[in-house]
Amino acid sequence: MLIQPTTYRSDRMRIVITGGCGFLGRRVALKLTGDIADRATVARVIGPGTDAVFHLAAIVSGQAEADTDLGYRVNLDGTRAVLDACRALGTAPRLVFASSLAVYGGVLPSKIGDDTALTPQTSYGTQKAIGELLVNDYSRKDFVDGRALRLPTVVVRPGRPNRAASTFASSMIREPLAGQEAICPVSPDTVMALASPRRIVAGLVHALGIPGEAFGTSRSLQLPGFSVSVGEMAAALRRAGGEAAYARIRWQPDPQIQAIVSSWPPALATSRAEALGFGRDKGIDEVVAAFIADDLPLQKQLVA
C-alpha cells in the first residue's frame, strides 16, 4: 500500500497527509510515494517540523477482508508506523485519523453514537477499532494530539469502483449519470448512513482546528451523517438524471455484500460532534447535486 504522502506548508504549519493521492487525500492536497508500513519511509516523511498529520491511507473493507495479511499490514502496522513517527518528534503533533462505521457491528441499537460498544464484524472494522484505541492511548501519553473520526459511508466518490463493500453506493449514482450501467448488490430497503465528500473533507479540516481538550476523555468521535435507503438513492438518481439514468441500474443481489452492509449502523446519534461544530448534509438530493457540480464532467472524461 502506497503511503502517497502530501506535505503541505503554510505560514504556520507543516502538515503531512498519508493517502494524499487517494480519494479524500487528493481533496486536501498534492503528491509523493512510499510504503505506509515501512517505518523508515514514514519516519522520513513525518520529519522534524511536522505540526500535523492526516492519516487517511488504508486498504478498503472488501480487500481487507479478502486479504487478511495485507489488511493488517496497511491498516494496523501502517497506523502504528505513523503514530510512532509522530511520537519520535517529541512535539505531540496533531493527528487526524480516519476511522469508520465498520467499528460497529452485530446487534445494534436504532441509533449508534460515541458511547456504542465497538463490535466490528470484519477485519477492516477490527483494524480501525484498534487504530482508534492506539490514537487514544498515544494522546493520553502526550505522544500525539489525536482525534479519530468515524466516517459515514462517503457518497458520491468519483473515479472507478474499488473493493470496498460500499463501492456500489457511489457506483449506482456515478456510473448511470456518466452513461454507464452499474450493479447494485443489495436490496432497495437497505438503509445506510452517508455523508458527501464535501462534508467529510470539511469535517477532517475542522477537526484539525479543535483543541484536544475539547474532546474530553475520548478522542474518538462519530461524524454526522444522514440515513437513506438504497431505493431512495435510486429515486434521487432518477430525479437528477431521468429515466435513462435510472434504467442503467442492474439489481443483482450479492449475499456476502448484503451481509457486510447490513452489519453497519443505519442511523447515527452525533450530538457530541454537532456541539463541536461538525455539520451534516441535508439529504441525498443535495449529495447528488454536489457530485454533478464537482465531479461529473471529469467522470465522463474518465470513462469516455
Active site residues: 124
Question: Which helix (H) or strand (E) element contains residue 45?
Answer: helix 39-45
Q: At 156, list the grid cell.
A: 458520491
Dihedral sign from CA coordinates of 64, 68, 74, 78:
positive
Exposed / middle / buried, residue 90 (Cβ in 10 Å: 0-12, 13-18, 19+): exposed
Q: At 151, list the grid cell.
A: 466516517
Q: At 274, list the grid cell.
A: 454537532
**CA 179 to the chain's CA centroid:** 26
Q: Which residue has the cell 500525539?
A: 144
Total residues belonging to the chain: 304
Residues whose CB falls within 8 Å of the CB of residue 54, separated by 6 or more in sequence, listed in order: 15, 16, 17, 18, 19, 25, 28, 96, 98, 204, 208
Cβ–Cβ < 8 Å for 143, 300: no
